[in-house]
Amino acid sequence: MLSRKNRLLLLKGLSLFSIIRGYNILVITLAQYLASIYILSPDLPLRDVILDINLFVIVLASALVIAAGYIINSFYDSEKDLINRPRKSMLDRLVSQRTKLSAYFVLNFISVLLASYVSFRATLFFSAYIFGIWIYSHKLKRIPLVGNIVSATLAITPFFAVFVYYKNFETVIFVHAVYLFLLILVRELIKDMENMAGDLAQGYMTIPLIYGTNVSKTLASVLVLLTLLPALLLIYSFDVGIMYLYFFGSIAFLIGFLVLLWKSNSKKDYIWLHNILKFIIVAGVFSILLIDVDLVLNRILS
In a domain, 3, yes or no: no
Q: Are residues 159 and 50 in the same domain?
A: yes
Are residue 17 and residue 123 in the same domain, yes or no? yes
For the chain, the distance separating the N- and C-terminal CA atoms, rounded to the nearest angstrom, is 51
Task: Please name which of 73, 79, 150, 138 lies closest in space to residue 104, comparing C-alpha atoms.
Answer: 73
Domain shared by 199 and 214, yes or no: yes
Residue 240's domain comprises 170-302
Domain total for the chain? 2
Residue 261 CB coordination number (10 Å): 24
Do 179 and 302 reside in the same domain of the chain? Answer: yes
Last residue of a domain, one of 169, 193, 218: 169
Q: Is residue 218 part of a domain?
A: yes
Q: Do 241 and 285 fall within a single domain? A: yes
Contact 114, 125 (CB under 8 A): no
160 and 175, same domain (yes or no):
no
Q: Are residues 154 and 209 in the same domain?
A: no
CATH number at residue 29: 1.10.357.140
- C-alpha torsion 163→168→172→177, nearest 10: 20
Q: Are 61 and 115 in contact (CB under 8 A)?
A: yes
| pTM higher than 0.85 | yes
Look at residue 197 and tell me if it is in a domain: yes
Within a domain: residue 1? no
User: Is 2 inside any structural domain?
Assistant: no
Cα dihedral 269, 278, 78, 100, rounded to 10, equals 170
Q: Do 181 and 152 belong together in one domain?
A: no
Tens of pLDDT, residue by residue, the chain (302 residues): 556 666 667 777 777 777 888 889 999 999 999 988 888 887 788 788 888 999 999 999 999 999 999 988 888 777 777 777 777 676 667 777 888 889 999 999 999 999 999 999 999 999 999 999 999 988 888 888 899 999 999 999 998 888 888 887 788 889 999 999 999 999 999 999 998 888 777 777 889 999 999 999 999 999 999 999 999 999 999 988 899 999 999 999 999 999 999 999 998 999 999 999 999 999 999 998 888 766 555 555 55
CA dihedral 43, 47, 53, 56 (to 10 degrees): 80
Of 119, 137, 169, which residue is a domain's last? 169
Q: Which residues contact 198 (CB under 8 A, 6 or more apart)?
A: 80, 81, 82, 83, 84, 204
**What is the Cα Rg of the chain in Å?**
20
Q: Last residue of some domain: 169, 195, 218?
A: 169
- Determine contact, residues 67/20, Cβ cutoff 8 Å: yes
Q: Is residue 4 part of a domain?
A: no
Cβ(280)–Cβ(254) below 8 Å: yes
Q: Which residues contact 135 (CB under 8 A, 6 or more apart)?
A: none
